[in-house]
Amino acid sequence: MSKGLIKFLVIVVSLACLYSISFTFVTRKVEKDAAAYANGDLAKEKAYLDSMASEVVYNLGIAKFTYREAKANELALGLDLKGGMNVTMEISLDELITNLANKPKDANFNKALATAIAKSKTTNTSLIDLFLNEYKATGAATPIASFFATTDNAAEIQAGSSEADVKRFLNKEADNAIQNSYKVLRTRIDKFGVASPNIQIQQGTNRILIELPGINDEERVRKLLQGSAKLEFYETFNNADVYQLMDNINRTLATTLKADKPAAVAATPVDTTAAANNAADTTKKEDNLLSKLGANKNAADSNASNAADLTAGNPLFSILQPNVGQGPSGQMELGPGAVVGYANLKDTAKVNAYLARPEIKSIIPGNMRLLWAVKPESLSQTKDILSLFAIRTSGNENGPAMTGDVITNARDEFDPQTNKPIVSMAMNAQGARDWQRVTAAAAQGRYSVAIVLDGVVYSAPGVEREIAGGNSTISGNFTIEDTKDLANVLKAGRLPTTAKIVEEAIVGPSLGQVAIDSGVNSAVIGIIVVMAFMIAYYNRAGIAANIAVIFNVFFLMGVLASLNAVLTLPGIAGIVLTMGTAVDANVLIYERMREEMALGKSMRKVVEDGYKHAMPSILDSQITTFLVGLILFFTGSGPIQGFATTLMIGIITSLFTAIFITRLIFEYMLSKEMKITVSFPWSNHTLKNANFAFIKKRKVAYLVSLVAIVISLGAIAVKGFSYGVDFQGGRTYTIKYDTPVAAETVRENLDNVFGTTTEVKTFGTDNQLRVTTSYHIEETSDAADQEVLSKLNEGLSKVQGKYEILSQQKVGPTIASDIRDRAIYASILSILVIAAYILVRFHKWQYSAGAAIATIHDAIILLGLFSILDGIVPFSLDIDQHFVAAILTVLGYSVNDTVVVFDRLREYLKKPDAHREDIGTTINKAINSTLSRTVITSLTVIFVLAVLFVFGGEVIRGFSFAILVGIVVATYSSIFLAAPAIYDLSGGKHLASSAKPEEKKQAKVVTP
């Protein structure tokens, strides 16, 4: 690649990263201003940020961004850094099955379902499969299909349908229920106003993961998420029928708001009595309404000096634009339909406050509700505009005309005549009768029918004629996404199941701030340690590597921001780890350059050949680690995905900076005839002529490893592990006392209260504890949560001193089992994928087997150490998701080290006369020639991990300890086990070299 192209790439990537990161600085500035303005008042701070939502806060000339848009592009902080709430919702498939069968009383049906529910807690088999198997096992004569062949399901299933048809039907309904629940939850969370929320379906399960950073009203979130979806159909008022009322509200507000002000503020006396009489006269005719509308519009266009007067005289209409427009003749006309006004998203709270005032509520008729649209749109080139609808209630209870439970199906389709997106829906018999009545009245009165879910309007289509039979279509100016959403909403009206919280984690902001400080400190110190070591060992080449590390961190943050990634504490750990491994590519290059210099080559040739010969090792070692990160990303969740994302991006940016940035620096130095040095005198000969007899002494290493494995397996079998709450289920609380407390004292009190063994550990400082209890482990209801919390407080209060609960986490046993199984699968899959990659790259099974032996060895030793040291070291060694991330990272690093040796061995075996040398001697040379690189890379990573362990904070101390110990073990296995294993697996015979047959034949002829 030419130097010009490399420079162009560096400039383009740098500008792109700077652009992505800039949004974070902009939003932080706005939020800092909001905090200064509020001075500790959270309500005022939120109101300030709401008011800025649609304001342009970032002007690049060619593009302008509002605060809401900038916020969507910032590098968001995760729960563990910002505090907030993490919730996993589970769709009740047992309730789905029961409701689809109309709650049968059949004993065999209910027994089969109960047994399936019990078995589902200990297996990964789906509840639907378990239920069908259990029903078949009862030997019941009644076909399973007969239970589901109801009127509502007639289009999908009949009494004579096969079991396979029933299974297909139930799986389809389960998928629909999950998708519909996702849509409902998505809408509710959007209404809640959480910044940077994350909601996603956990593929292959009936669970939905929700992350709500910054939330401090947990009880409200629980009620919001677990409330049942409420789909309703309402008749509406026409805009022309409501304008008089809206104008009356506007005039009443003008009077009452002026009267509420202190007398000293008013410029002139106001006849409030006369104004109130005028406002209350709701029957007065407006002879020239259209001209008045035109006057209002002209007033709205007046200069800035009259803005205050306009707002005072029209408090409602200054923030809620009436639904008016210019008619064909140029005169102002009232817009058609049920929309009575438009407001900027930031002003909707103020409109709601106006409408909730007692004097305004008394004016609004009892059969009218004013509801907002579900999502904002653009109006006259203005973004984030919400429509306000006038809804007509029905009956004595002022309810909807119909409810959504009558809908049997809804689909997004295309109109066969116009090919535009539409929605079709079907109703049951009762719904068809009600729909015919509602549509007949709407067609006659020329008004719309509003579709309302959870109090917001999704659509308000007009009705042209009476619709009989319950089948109808909804058309309009829809996009394909609009019709998909509307179809989901309509199907949500008959959700035959509910969603319940099976896992939740609440992180207090104080804990989050500690995590941020710890993460930032470890990152800064890590950079300093790496840079100091690289300069101390590699001289001027170390400076080039340090410049690459700085670029690497900059690129990494830029890419994370551009992907809208959420930065978590394990993510920061990933950045710190990336800084350690980032120098690996440089170390490979520099060590190779030192070898080329020893051959007496010119410096330009040294640089060229150093990069050329190091490239295969760099790519193979980094790709194997990247594959592990990929597996972590797809098998992990929450913070683990954050770590995996950072690790993978870090590998890519590390390769870019090590290969391109340092090469540019060296090329510049060569062009200026500057001296390039890759060592100091003291480091120049470090391990340079190493000639250790690794193959000869391999059996000693085998014996040491065998003893360590036996001890580890024995400890695992006898002592076992201390599982984290995400693996065993239960509830964990982080408690902070105002004075130091003894963990044993707290444990005794809690054991007495709970009546079961409680795990209490010092967490960070001696006044902070982590409490885990399995009390009510099978219960996930709010009542059970309150009982556990009550008993926890009872036990804690018996210990002297004041305390506060910083965070709490709840994991149901079902999801704990699922997480544990996924962790095991991820570990096995990593080993298999790495072995497959090595087989593809090296073409010999001995290489794959050698790498697999080393990685399995590392995993067992690390597991054994966690079992042996748990309870001995003064920090938590729980086996949890963080440990899984650590062990997979260690496996990736182990293979990284191993592949470098394998690459050198392959290089030696490709030489024409390689077969002359004993295979053991060749393997020994390969290990010794890469020993310097192995030791230096391991030291840089160990330095960084030591910093992470000491300064990273208690939250990830066990995580960093696992990787730190694992790196040491992995370095040992890559040297003493992986390559020596190839010797024994090949029977001490030569692996076929890649020399050409002619070369081999010629070599044989000249051999004496």
**What is the pLDDT at residue 521?**
83
| Least reliable range by pLDDT among 510-514, 552-556, 569-573, 665-669 | 510-514
Instruction: For the chain, list the domains and their CATH numbers.
Output: 3-74 (no CATH), 88-229+499-503 (3.30.70.3400), 508-664+702-719+818-991 (no CATH), 730-811 (3.30.70.3400)
**722-752 confidence digits (pLDDT tens):** 887 777 778 889 899 989 988 888 988 998 8
Average confidence (pLDDT) over 654-664: 87
**698-729 confidence digits (pLDDT tens):** 999 999 999 999 999 999 999 988 887 777 77
Question: What is the Cα–Cα distance from 407 to 350, expressed in whole angstroms?
Answer: 36
- CA–chain centroid gap for 992, Å, is 48
- As given in the structure block, the two tokens for residue 652 are 């890519």
**What is the pLDDT at residue 1000?**
39
- As given in the structure block, the two tokens for residue 773 are 């209890």
**What is the pLDDT at residue 297?**
43
Question: What is the Cα–Cα distance from 250 to 245, expressed in whole angstroms?
Answer: 9
**What is the pLDDT at residue 637?**
63
CB of 246 within 8 A of CB of 340? yes
Q: Is the sign of the CA dihedral 224, 227, 228, 233 positive or negative?
A: negative
Within a 10 A sphere around the Cβ of 99, how many other Cβ atoms? 18
**670-686 confidence digits (pLDDT tens):** 888 898 898 888 887 77
**493-521 confidence digits (pLDDT tens):** 555 577 788 877 777 766 667 777 787 88
Average confidence (pLDDT) over 400-419: 85
**884-941 confidence digits (pLDDT tens):** 888 888 888 888 888 888 888 888 888 877 677 788 888 998 899 888 888 888 888 8
Q: Find where tokens 């209350």 sit.
A: 280
Instruction: Looking at mean pLDDT, say which of 271-285, 450-464, 750-764, 958-972 comes out highest.
Output: 958-972
CB of 970 within 8 A of CB of 862? no
**What is the pLDDT at residue 83?**
75
- As given in the structure block, the two tokens for residue 1004 are 């044989």
- Count of CA atoms in the C-beta half-sphere (13 A) of 57: 24
- As given in the structure block, the two tokens for residue 133 are 């198997």
CB of 526 within 8 A of CB of 947? yes
CB of 371 within 8 A of CB of 388? yes
Question: What is the Cα–Cα distance from 587 to 933, expressed in whole angstroms?
Answer: 6
Question: What is the Cα–Cα distance from 184 to 949, expressed in whole angstroms?
Answer: 42
Question: What is the Cα–Cα distance from 377 to 34, expressed in whole angstroms?
Answer: 26
- CA–chain centroid gap for 564, Å, is 10
Of the candidates 755, 742, 750, 752, the residue with the CA atom closest to the CA atom of residue 771: 750
